[in-house]
Structure 1
């Protein structure tokens, strides 16, 4: 059985609870120690995209989802106990739903946006 940094385990908990802001902080700390690690950066970008979308920054969500998709491609199909086929399928489903003709909406209008699917992440050995 492989052991990972505590922040990685916490990332799964926060992600599954929908706390994408905290996910960003956890992954950023890991990424700062290993800046060439596009796996961390891809998960970080996906979390940031979901956070942006939650408050109406549609363009930011679109851009971050695309970079997350790009960064994670090289780690398929599985890396660090994470099934990236599921993650990339999820990212692509979100990309299909995020409006392409809108850059920003007010926080009051966020509920009118297409609802993104939920993804629950699990470590698999």
Structure 2
């Protein structure tokens, strides 16, 4: 079990992420990240959700940039941090990067119709 209870916003973030509500994810985590901007774990999760949000709207260049930052920030927290299998999240980011089209932008319709890998965050207890 965790020695420190996880913040409510973090748990809500996981729920929103799993529901595909990536914009709302940003707002939830930003609130707690602003309290400690040196926390690259929260920043990495923020950037992952922003990357997914950009991809949904066809901003492939923005998604690529955010995924790269997310991977860089999260990598130091492997294998598990705050109950999340960070190594698995990093593997998901690599899958996302590989699934992005070559172009910098695609239409909203294309983005909506294109199958894209999904991932569900879950709290594991180690």
The alignment's TM-score, normalised by the length of structure 2, stands at 0.93
The count of residues paired between Structure 1 and Structure 2 equals 123
Deviations 1:45-91 (A, max 9, x none): 00000000001101000000000000001000000111011101100
TM-superposed deviation, 1:116: 1.8
The two structures have a TM-score, normalised by structure 1, of: 0.93
Whole-angstrom distance in 2 between the partners of 1:92 and 1:49? 12
Query: What is the aligned partner in structure 1 of residue 60 from structure 2?
Result: 58
The answer to whether the 8 Å contact 2:75/2:87 transfers is: no
The residue number in structure 1 matching 2:12 is 10
Q: Which runs of 4+ in 1 moved over 6 A?
A: none
The residue aligned with 2:24 is: 22
